[in-house]
Chains A and B, each alone.
Chain A
């Protein structure tokens, strides 16, 4: 690759204007070459500055009031946490108890984040149930009904796994690191020994083009990589995903990549090293 080709690749990648094969080359280059990673970071910063070139225009004045009113109806989750903390000094709770309480609130917050996802899931389940009922009534293709039944069963199982892992006090949590392609996305991975199951929690993932999905890769100690799941997010870029494990081998690395409608992987958006030492993970 000539220096010009390399520069074109990195600048194009930062602008998000590369085709899938080129984007894969660029992603690999950035991941493996520190100099390229720095170059890419500079171009990303530059790309974000391009937005500042727009002529300045103002929205209609009523929008401000609508935004503020909508915000008042959706209290910041941090504010809810502040209410809870107010009772701590008054109750004179000991520091050890505070740690336990903090864990509980943290768990509650995570479950709260999942509520929307689960509501969406429940809507899908309900819709499928209705379709199943309609299929029964119409006595249509039995294969279709069976397929929907299996899908329903899978959705319910996934939801059960997510709830079980979330409510396991011994579940180990690994924070996932974003990459330059993640645009502020973050997430974590929960592993529950009691349930022998893992759950991936992601937030603020960038929107994907129609037909594209996010793909979860797990890598074991022998560097074998398997696709654990594919998923899409809700409108806020959030998702909770139950991850299937094959065999006894626990994964040591996890990657979330964007995958186009053809199944071709794009850049890594989230990644994490999954140590098996509970003291590190929790």
Chain B
């Protein structure tokens, strides 16, 4: 990020090579449209280029910030195009996107071993959640639905949705504690993962 701040185009290329697949994948997961996901990906990286100072390392990891920016931009696009419909969300949630081939299993070597390990852990933790808890969390995170909207989509009572999200998030937090700065006790075995600030 320091090099990016100095206007070094090669640093942008390195950041793109390292993170573009993730940014694109998250955008695609939200938008279900490869062209729109590419637009969001381009916008995210150009924003990084124009405003490198908008990432503040004191407030957290680069990867968290990048994912947050990506998700927000993608959801904004989703809302702008009014493409969110109940039936589409439910359907797409049950049927993974087929249009773009996945290269997932081997992961991307440029992502770095640590981030790959973290991705694997997050995916495993999500997989271990009871399906209804995972679905509620994914509808909230990737479709930007409120709990009330999730209850509408799934046909479950609002209280049930709230409980599923609470239990699911608690379980994820317990499972992923070692990867989180907030929950890692001082002097715990794993060092704080600050390398994700992403300086190429």
Q: Which of B6, B13, B140 is in CB contact (< 8 Å) with A68? A: B13
SS class of chain A's interface: helix, strand, loop or mixed? helix
Taken residue by residue from 167 to 196, chain A's Cβ proximity to chain B (1 for < 8 Å, 0 otherwise) reads as: 000000000001000011110000000000
Query: Which of under 10, 10 to 19, 20 to 34, or 35 or more describes the interface residues of B?
Result: 35 or more
CA distance A58 to B27 in the complex (A): 11
- Using a Cβ–Cβ cut-off of 8 Å, how many residues does chain A contribute to the interface with B? 60
Taken residue by residue from 27 to 43, chain A's Cβ proximity to chain B (1 for < 8 Å, 0 otherwise) reads as: 00000000000100111
Contacts of B55 in A (CB 8 A): 184
**Given A74-B46, A74-B50, A76-B52: A59 and B41 within 8 A (CB)?**
yes
Query: Does B182 contact A38, Cβ atoms closer than 8 Å?
Result: yes
Contacts of B141 in A (CB 8 A): 15, 17, 47, 50-51
Q: Which of A7, A51, A63, A204 is in CB contact (< 8 Å) with B67? A: A51
Most buried by B among A41, A78, A186: A78
Query: Does B146 contact A68, Cβ atoms closer than 8 Å?
Result: no
Query: Does A15 contact B9, Cβ atoms closer than 8 Å?
Result: no
CA distance A207 to B40 in the complex (A): 13
**Given A12-B165, A74-B50: A57 and B28 within 8 A (CB)?**
yes
Contacts of A43 in B (CB 8 A): 169, 173
SS class of chain B's interface: helix, strand, loop or mixed? helix
A122 within 8 A of B: no
B168 CB to closest chain A CB (Å) equals 8
CA distance A51 to B70 in the complex (A): 9
Taken residue by residue from 49 to 78, chain A's Cβ proximity to chain B (1 for < 8 Å, 0 otherwise) reads as: 111111111111001101110111011111
Most buried by B among A54, A64, A77, A78: A54
Contacts of B198 in A (CB 8 A): none
Contacts of B115 in A (CB 8 A): 52
B153 within 8 A of A: no
A149 within 8 A of B: no
A99 within 8 A of B: no
**Given A15-B137, A17-B145: A63 and B41 within 8 A (CB)?**
yes
Query: Does A57 contact B54, Cβ atoms closer than 8 Å?
Result: no
A46 within 8 A of B: yes
**Given A38-B182, A58-B24: A53 and B126 within 8 A (CB)?**
yes
Query: Does A16 contact B140, Cβ atoms closer than 8 Å?
Result: yes
Known: A12-B166, A15-B169. 5 other contacts (CB 8 A): A17-B140, A45-B64, A54-B25, A71-B49, A79-B7
What are some 20 contacts across the A-B interface (CB < 8 A)? A15-B141, A15-B165, A16-B140, A16-B144, A17-B141, A17-B147, A48-B67, A49-B122, A53-B125, A55-B102, A56-B21, A58-B21, A58-B24, A58-B103, A63-B24, A70-B42, A71-B12, A77-B51, A184-B65, A236-B51
